[in-house]
Amino acid sequence: MAGTPGITVAKTGGNKFLRLVAAISTLAGWISAGMIVAAVAITCQMIFIRFVMNGSTVWQTEAVIYLVIAATLLGLPYVQRLRGHVNVDLIPIWLAPKARYVLFVFTMSLSILIVGTMLFYGFEYWHFAWERGWRSDTVWGVRLWIPYLALPVGFALLMLQLVADLIAVLLRIEDPFGLDEFSGLDSRTTGGV
């Protein structure tokens, strides 16, 4: 489609911490993609067993559900790195550069706080499953700490990427909301002009 902006990637500016976080987020994205591919392969195998071989399946449905949920959680930092989450930038476009900067720091700090809260409770939930030996109520009876591990890991990686995004703006490596400081134009679509 003509006029569609390309993929935007979080800038690292040569900063070692930002480059490390970018590498971790990219690795998480590849692992997430692998989980989706595995879920599709298991689904195909399940369909073959059920409808071609006329057999029953025990573990496939549960495995696919856990893989897709884990892929979603582990993919969060990669999507954040690519600026792929829903972004409403009507207010930042209309704000002056200093107000835009303050709004970015506020919203990013609030996001980090919210994701940190989710990380805390996700870790607590995972720890309960680990400590108490919870198992699923299915024939497969998977130990639930294994799929629940995606909660604290996914939120920890997302929080790390959000912290890196905040640091990039504080160090002036990236503009708040990806908007050019002087014109209010989106530097992602104007080539940084």
Whole-number pLDDT of residue 2: 46
Whole-number pLDDT of residue 84: 86
Residue 59 per-residue DSSP state: S
pTM of the model: 0.87
What are the residue ranges spanned by the domains of the chain? 16-178
pLDDT in tens, 116-125: 999 999 999 9
Give residue 180's identity as a one-letter amino acid code: D
Number of neighbouring beta carbons within 10 Å of residue 96: 10
Phi-psi region of 141 (alpha: psi -120 to 50; beta: other; left: phi over 0): left
